[in-house]
Structure 1
Amino acid sequence: MEYRELKVNLPKELSDPFYELLDSLQCAGYYEILFDGEAPKEKDQGLIRDNTNIRIYLQTYEVEKELKILIFLKLFAPNNSNSESRIIETRDYEEAYKEYYKPFPIGKKLWVIPTWEKQEPNTISLWEPNGGIPLFINPGVAFGTGHHETTKLILEHLDSLYEEGKFSFTSACDVGTGSGILSIGLAKFGVSKIFALDIDPNAVKAAWSNWTENEYPKGFQFSVEESGIDNPKLSNQHYDLAIANITFAVLSQNIRHLAKINAPRIIFSGIITEKKDDFLSLLQSHLPGKLLYSKEWNEWWVLDWQRN
């Protein structure tokens, strides 16, 4: 089987609306590349790029979707973006990201390890001698490589709570699970019952596959469903903690469903700086409470919200 691959380079500040476009187009998959040595160098570029590189995968016949992507780039970044398209085989599509995906640490304890390197002696020597906690991940086409600021912010916060002895959650729900990386992190820190969901069927498959690559204490329970935030299991069952790494646009459109989640504490990410105050106002209106913790990285925020 063949796919249409688009290599897109655009300003980081356009990532959020661009991802919303890709979600609305229901692409076969997409992922962000942390570093791409082959990407064209930007004018006056320093060590850290202001632009981001994204790979997008469409069915070969989905020319109209490619045109909508190109129109977005022409409208919002006519002088600071570029793209190229090619037809690739399924094998290339599934293996493409592996070139860029290597083991890396998050916080004091966590190590994100690609599943295809989990038995490599050099990889094991990175985390095992220092008592590190490995998260074995094969993201595939699901969001959640661990490289994105929003994913790192949540995992770093969970890691800090664990290190400070403030991690006392036994049940949790992961809304918009993606690759399942955040759920796996929760389980590694001792959460014994987790319910995850995502509207993307590829994410559900990736999350379940990644769960099988990791080890957990006996009696651990995990379930994942293809579903939106209106899933009755979020309101009918109690959770000590909820996590939601979802964009402001999706969260704000589903604020009433969000308010029905039966959890006293919710950790949000996926919120950009310009939407932070608007989102906090929404929370105070629909989920009254207080902000326990917040941190910003590259204009992305993690917000730890305690409900009244």
Structure 2
Amino acid sequence: MPYLELTLRCSETTQPRYENALEDVGALAVTMLDAEADTSNERAILEPGVGETPLWNELVLSALFPADANPLVLLAALEAFDEGLDWSDASFRKVEDEDWERAWLDTFKPMSFGRRTWIVPWNHELPEDAQGADAAIVRLDPGLAFGSGTHPTTALCLRWLDQLADEGRLAGQTVLDFGCGSGILALAALKLGAAAAVGVDNDPQAIIATSDNAERNGVSIACYLPEDEPVHSYPVVVANILASALDALAEVLAERVAVGGRIALSGILHGQEDELLVRYAPWFEQLNVTQDGDWMRIDGVRRA
């Protein structure tokens, strides 16, 4: 059957309120895209950091309702749900019946990171370049709430892991993915030769997603909420969250890295890196900064 689609632009701060309102009045699905991105580009897929949605300043929200829904009645219900939201720019259109989930997945293509790492959706054949004997293949479908590799913050971490593997620093090691989301970084580490991986996230849905993705990829990831996490030190730690969280968790993350171990910090906007370099300097040396568009990655080695 056809659907009624509501589309609205909103800001980073108001997005959760709009989404809650849409779901409360019966939206069948809510998707979020970067308002400044070309929606034909894979980078338009939402990848929020742990505890943060979204990563962009402005988004386009699209919600699907049954075709017979009355737009005026919907607007009245939405305005009543949260009187502080502005629905004056909302637009409606009828859309034809199609497999919306499949159409969404079709925007997600195989992607390579570094020399060996590939993220390939389940509905795609392996690209020819990904069929080498040493290729590290992670099968993953995009999600609205978790990482799929399309955002620069995730890409920066995937390339870092790929480089560690090339340097022989990943084989046989245990990796901590702090703020694991979909588990994409832990999965990539395992496919690149890590012996074990641990995922930590404060969102229970992320724990479910990571466990499910690990099972589908034929590997195992020990997943924990922060309050349940056994505290260990690891030779490799990656934290793809946001700068504010990285600042607040500096001591926690430093404690998780073994002496001589390596850490990668991502989710940092250009201009936020200097403060974090100072913040992490007491525990880490050989601190490097790598940039991808507006986003930065910091990596370093744990001091003795």
User: TM-score under structure 2 normalisation?
Assistant: 0.69
Looking at structure 2, the residues matched to 105 and 262 of structure 1 have their Cα atoms a distance apart, in angstroms, of 27
The residue number in structure 2 matching 1:113 is 120
Q: Give the corresponding residue for 1:200.
A: 203
How far apart are 1:6 and its partner, in Å?
Answer: 5.4
SS in 1 for 2:207: helix
Task: Please name the residue that 1:290 is paired with.
Answer: 285
**Equivalent position of 2:298 in the other structure:** 303
Task: Determine the structure 2 residue equivalent to 1:266.
Answer: 263
Which segment is superposed worse, 199-208 or 255-264? 255-264
Give the aligned partner of residue 101 of structure 1: 108
- For structure 2, the residue ranges without an aligned partner over 5 or more in a row are 24-29, 42-55, 66-73
Number of aligned residues: 263
| Residue aligning to 1:14 | none
Distance, in Å, in 2 between the alignment partners of 1:278 and 1:24 is 31
After TM superposition, give the deviation of residue 241 of structure 1 in Å: 1.2
Give % identity: 24
Query: Cα 1:143–1:255, aligned 2, differ >3 Å: closer, same or farther?
Result: same
Following TM superposition, by how much is the alpha carbon of 1:181 offset from its aligned partner in structure 2, in angstroms?
0.8
Q: CA 1:104–1:238 in structure 2 vs 1: closer, same or farther (change >3 Å)? A: same
* TM-score where L is the length of structure 1: 0.68
**1:261 maps to amino acid:** R
Q: What SS is found at the alignment partner of 1:116?
A: coil
Q: Partner of 1:293: helix, strand, or coil?
A: strand
Within 1, Cα distance between the matches of 2:299 and 2:112?
22
**Which of 238, 254, 276 lines up with 2:233 in the alignment?**
238
Larger helix proportion of the pair: 1
Larger radius of gyration: 2
Q: What do residues 197-227 of structure 1 show as CA deviations (whole Å, max 9, x unaligned)? A: 22223322221221122245xxxx52113x2
Q: What is residue 44 of structure 2 aligned with on the other side? A: none
Cα RMSD, aligned residues only? 4.1
1:100, distance to aligned residue in structure 2 (A): 1.1
Residues 1:128 and 2:131 are matched in the alignment: yes
Tell me by how many angstroms 1:110 deviates: 1.5
Secondary structure of the equivalent of 1:268? strand
| SS of residue in 2 equivalent to 1:115 | coil
- Structure 1 SS opposite 2:272: helix
Q: For structure 1, which runs of at least 5 residues remain unmatched after alignment?
A: 11-17, 39-49, 75-81
Match of 1:157 among 153, 157, 160: 160
Distance 1:126 1:232 in 2: 38
User: Offset at 1:284?
Assistant: 2.4
2:273 corresponds to: 276
CA distance, structure 1, for counterparts of residue 274 and residue 266 of structure 2? 14
Quick one: which amino acid aligns to residue 167 of structure 2?
Answer: E
